[in-house]
């Protein structure tokens, strides 16, 4: 099976840049998606296919993917960005989620 | 507008089965896959499988493939996920989500979630 590795927790000062990573073998060859989940709510897609933002997602959310690491960047983090973030890959045989990263905005 | 509406919470005994429904509206059902994702209390997201709204093709996670069945009723735009031989560690919130371009563009709409509790 294909494993995706995320840090358990990341903290960022209000207004600063948060970086959340997702590691996987040659993940740069995969389509990586990122989801935000707040307590008691369903996940929300914030980045699809590595770098694309769905309609309604603020421009401060961006993504990149190369080699063995995909990255979600939140520029100018706001209090409302505090949430769990999950990376996900849609392979031909299976779809996989990373373990999730809890983002704390200080 | 696109909506995925799931059936209500369930309480089951160990060894029983549960069937959760997900009714789609606001888009062409046949053009998308529906995925099932679950989340145990305090845990992360786990992909369970997907079903094509076009031809009913399915793919499930290896860890669940002996116990999970996904079906669709295209006349109502409803997808069903049945999980058999329930265990206590199947207690979770179960979500359905729409997979775009066979999942290559992620899952853009999600149901509200269905809590399944397995307890004796």
The contact set of B with A (CB < 8 A) is 35, 37, 44-47, 50, 59, 61-62, 95, 97, 99-100, 102-108, 110-113
Say how far residue B58 (Cα) sits from the centre of its chain: 12
- Model confidence band, residue A1 (pLDDT cutoffs 50, 70, 90): confident
Mean pLDDT of chain A: 96
Judged by CB atoms closer than 8 Å, whether chains meet at A48 and B46 is answered as no
Question: Does residue A5 sit at the B interface (CB-CB below 8 Å)?
Answer: no
Q: Are B71 and B56 in contact (CB under 8 A)?
A: yes
Neighbours of B59 (CB within 10 A): 19
Quote the CA–CA distance of B94 and B58 in Å, as a whole number. Answer: 17
Q: Is B20 left (phi over 0), alpha (psi -120 to 50) or beta?
A: beta
Judged by CB atoms closer than 8 Å, whether chains meet at B103 and A95 is answered as yes
pLDDT at B103 over 90: no
Question: Does residue A38 sit at the B interface (CB-CB below 8 Å)?
Answer: no
Quote the CA–CA distance of A31 and A63 in Å, as a whole number. Answer: 11
pLDDT digits (tens, 9 = 90+) for B24-65: 999 999 999 999 999 999 999 999 999 999 999 999 999 998
* For range A81-93, the mean pLDDT: 92
For residue A28, the 8-state DSSP code is G
Judged by CB atoms closer than 8 Å, whether chains meet at B113 and A42 is answered as yes
Neighbours of A78 (CB within 10 A): 12
3-state secondary structure (DSSP) of residue B88:
helix
pLDDT digits (tens, 9 = 90+) for A48-77: 999 999 999 999 999 999 999 999 999 999
And the tokens for B74? 């295209």
Q: Are A50 and A64 in contact (CB under 8 A)?
A: yes
Judged by CB atoms closer than 8 Å, whether chains meet at A95 and B110 is answered as no
């Amino acid at each position: 099976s294909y494993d995706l590795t995320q840090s358990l927790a990341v903290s960022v000062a209000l207004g600063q840049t948060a970086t959340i990573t997702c590691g996987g073998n040659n993940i740069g060859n995969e389509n990586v998606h990122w989801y935000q989940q707040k307590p008691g709510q369903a996940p929300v897609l914030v980045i699809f296919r590595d770098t694309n933002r769905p309609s309604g997602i603020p421009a401060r959310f961006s993504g990149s993917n190369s080699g063995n690491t995909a990255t979600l960047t939140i520029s100018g983090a706001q209090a409302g960005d505090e949430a769990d973030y999950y990376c996900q890959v849609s392979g031909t045989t299976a779809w996989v989620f990373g373990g999730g990263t809890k983002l704390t905005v200080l | 507008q696109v909506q995925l509406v799931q059936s209500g919470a369930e309480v089951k005994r160990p060894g029983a089965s549960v069937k959760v429904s997900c009714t789609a509206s606001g888009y062409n059902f046949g053009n998308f896959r529906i995925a099932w994702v679950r989340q145990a209390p305090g845990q992360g997201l786990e992909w369970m499988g997907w079903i094509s709204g076009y031809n009913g093709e399915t793919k499930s996670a290896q860890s669940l493939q002996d116990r999970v069945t996904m079906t669709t009723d295209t006349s109502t735009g409803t997808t069903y996920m049945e999980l058999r031989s329930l265990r206590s560690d199947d207690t979770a919130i179960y979500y359905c989500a729409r997979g775009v371009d066979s999942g290559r563009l992620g899952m853009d709409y999600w149901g509200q979630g269905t809590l399944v509790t397995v307890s004796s």
